[in-house]
Copies of this chain bind each other. A is one copy, B any other.
Amino acid sequence: MRDAFHDDLSSITDDLVEMTRMTGAAIERATRALLDADQHLAESVIAADDDLDEMRRAVDNLVVDLLARQQPVATDLRSVITAMQMASDIERMGDLARHIAKVARRRHPEHAIPDELREVITSMMEAAVHLAKSTGTAISTRDVNAAMTIEGADDAMDALHRRIFGHLLDDTWKHGTEAAVDITLVSRYYERFGDHAVSVANRIIYLVTGRY
């Protein structure tokens, strides 16, 4: 039989998994808005980020409430604190999707992404969606092996980030400084999205194994 503490923690965990689902959807839609110069889609991603912020505040409040009522110690206490820290990382992943949508909105009706970079940006989106999904799985299962795959998936994201820089610093770059600035920022946003997934994974690994 489950006790009240584990029921509450399980409910917080469900919220975190839902937040990872929302960030995955957000970065996928933000990328579509960017690639298609779709202003309406960009606006909808920007607006939807409020829901993630709200959900993160709700998780913080649930955590404080749980701590006050149940006063957990040892691993239970660590689990609750870690949940709050993960909510912060996941909310930030949503912010990064919103930043990508804002670049699409700012450049509309122009396309921020030149044709020859569409493929690598699409790969970054796929990597980000995969990272968001893996993060949700690692949170719900607390499986250290699942968490450890996230670092490898983020290495793929970092390689894409370097590929973008390879294009930007190539002598044949012909899209001017404004495009270079936008793409630098966009690429950085995907890279940071991956970093936060790794941060969540490391928190799970530390929680389960006690090691960084």
Contacts and interface: CB of A to CB of B under 8 A. Distances in A.
Contact of A78 (B64, B78, B168): B64
Interface string A2-41: 0000000000000000000000000000000000000000
A1 interface: no
A120 interface: no
Can you tell how many copies of this chain the complex includes? Answer: 2
A84 B80 CA distance: 13
A209 interface: no
Interface string A160-187: 0000010011000100011011001100
Query: Chain A interface residue count: which class?
Result: 20 to 34
Contact of A177 (B64, B67, B168): B168
Interface stretch (A68-76, A110-118, A140-148): A68-76
Contact of A169 (B77, B165, B177): B177
Nearest to A57: B212
A84 B73 CA distance: 17
A84 B177 CA distance: 40
A88 interface: yes
A74 B65 CA distance: 9
A67 B63 contact: no
Nearest to A192: B192
A188 interface: yes
Contacts of A71: 71
A21 to B, nearest CB: 24
A64 B81 contact: yes
A85 interface: yes
Contacts of A185: 184, 188
A77 B67 contact: yes
